[in-house]
Structure 1
Amino acid sequence: MEEKGNGEGGDGVEEGGEEGGEIRAEVGGEVGGEVGEEKKKKKKKKKKKKKKKKKKKKKKKKKKKKKKKKKKKKKKKKKKTKKKKKKKKKKKKRRREKKKKKKKKKKKKKKKKKKREEEEEEEEEEEEEEKKKKRRKRRKRRRRRRNYCYHLLLSPLAKLVTTRSQILSEADPIKNWAEPYPWRADATYAAMLARLVHAHMTGAGTCGSLSSDNGFLSYPPHPFSQRTQLARFRMNLTADPHVLFVRKPVHAAQAMLGKLASRVVVATVRHQAQDDAGEPAPQLGVIATASGSHSLSALLYHSNESVWQPGVEAKVSLRAQLDWTTGASWAVYQVDNQLTNPYAAWVRQGCPPFPSALQLDDIRASEVCVSPYAPSNRAPFVAGVLRTDNASPSVRFQDQEKRHSSFLHV
């Protein structure tokens, strides 16, 4: 008991005596033990608190470290992102620069192309202008040559016909039928035919029949200007290919010659030998025939063969010595380059190789007309005199009958 009573219990033993010392020692020992336990508890608590503090500190340190790491990572990421952004910007700049360079190159190429095209166009235009000039010169030369050839070939034709007893049945002084000449397309060829037939009739005497071996058919691109009586159009673009014909003025002249009677009547012509300029005037002639005592037919031609150009209009007065006082009528069929010129109508249309139905109607309207023109009582045939105006070249057929009522004008 004495050993356990260290401290305060020991002091009580000394002060209280021996009897009371035991009790005090026991009480003091118990109290001292409790105090020691409390101290231990306090120490434990302190230790726990220290541990907690340490843990908290560790946690804080860890958090700080984590935060630092996160910050570092963020910084690294930011740096990386910045670098990436910089790289992207650089790439974008490079791409933009490349695009700009490409655009500049394209613009330069386009400008060069435009310049080349403009230069080529200018060169082509210059070449076309030169070609046009050459064509114009060629046309002028051809026209001069043609006029010279027409002058050489056609002006001495009357002398050749009068000196020779035989002429071509086609009434054409040029051999090759396929060569295109514009005077073969209009009334020039028709008037030439009538004049040569008249010359043949007067030179050879009586003419029992008139024949022609002119059986040629024209082919493109010259349906009118070849030595043919019909202009042929081969319509190959249609579903059913077919052929269309247009009667030329020479065909009408052949028809007029076919209307002449079998008996020739004496007819004389008086006309001016020269015009005002001193050049030979167009030749005017008449072929007069009769059948029985009630019909008279006359074919008048006004030919200008020296130069292929519009001739001078001639005022013609036809005087017939007839005993018919009443009941007489007459009909007229005329071919010239004004009323009956299908070639001119075709040229006005632009020379179509395959004319349409309307174009053909317009062309055929210039052929010889066979419909009545006016009643017989309006015919200008008074006291045996018929007055008409004939332009050169032209062919006019006039038929007068007694007791006949028809008046035809073409």
Structure 2
Amino acid sequence: MTTEKTPTATPTTDAEQLEAAIEIAESLQEHTITTGDLAPEPRITARRALFQIAHSLQTARELLPESEPDPDSDSDRESTTDTMPEPDAWDDYEEAICHLEGRLTHLHRLACAKQPADGRASESPARQFTRALEELTVLRECLPGVDPDLDGDVAVGLEREVTVTTKEAYEQVEGRDQGQGQWLEYQLERAFRRWGYSADTRQTAFGLEVDVIARRKEKQGEPTDWLVAECKDWESGTITPVTIFRLCMIAFACRAMPVLCHTTDLTSRAEQLARNFEVRVLELEDLERGELPAPKTAQPSTELFEYAPDWTARDSRGELPIMFRREPGKRFSYVPGFEPAGRGCGYEPIEDPDDRDDDPHPAAGH
């Protein structure tokens, strides 16, 4: 750590502010590597956050236009040298975070003011500074002696200028223009791959386009080893039962579990159908989860301490016609070889040798 505080000149340009912020981040990186004042887990978290901050700042430096001073003007060169900021001196983590936070907040405010209205958020310096500030909040929580809820002008500016919702942060990325859905399809494909699937987009099943399909790399003997997904990245409009019917039809035809990923709203009837037919309804935030979310099976009660019967979708959706109900292989299941187990969303392989299934699943009998 720096032990002597030196006066810090006020940077006069974006580039000077950025270089000062990079210098602080690199100083913190070096300190976390060379000193042992952090436990192993916080040290790993801090180093990861600092790496992301440095990467975002370096990307922003590449995106910012370079200023070209007049080579014939000595006064400009001398003025630039005189006003270059001194390295921010800091005696503890909180002081370093305050310096870095102030620089980043200022840079983010300037970048937002200069960003074109039709510019891509993912390609803008403002987005890079936002990412750095988001990582800075993580850094504040793992460093000792740093208040996670830092008060003062810096924290107020951070909350006012940087806090954005997930939808707002990705409003202007590529593939989200009118009539396009590539971006959400790509995000769902990435999520499937993180969850252990091989995935592909824009495939065709019996002449119908399927937005995303996925197959688990290491089969778990579950219906979710196969997935088909519909994506609706709509700025306006509401998902109706037609979308649910189409998705379920394709899922039954492909013998895979249905997934609906959307950024809009569902009508009450569409929501109920999705619940009854065990469609996994994912919003953008669900793609950040560590594994494939389960479908919704029940709703909160409107009473307090009434203890009414807790009905799930399997209780309320009804059954097959009586004529079909007792025949072999007649059961609710997208994937052959499985039958519903319990009142939630579980399935189990069919192991009864007398239960003849015309199209047994490979996992049946395991």
TM-score category of the 2 structures, normalised to the smaller one: under 0.3
Rg (Cα) greater in structure: 1
RCO comparison, higher one (Cα < 8 Å, 6+): 1
TM-score normalised by structure 2 residue count: 0.23
Q: TM-score, normalised by structure 1?
A: 0.22
Richer in helix (by share): 1
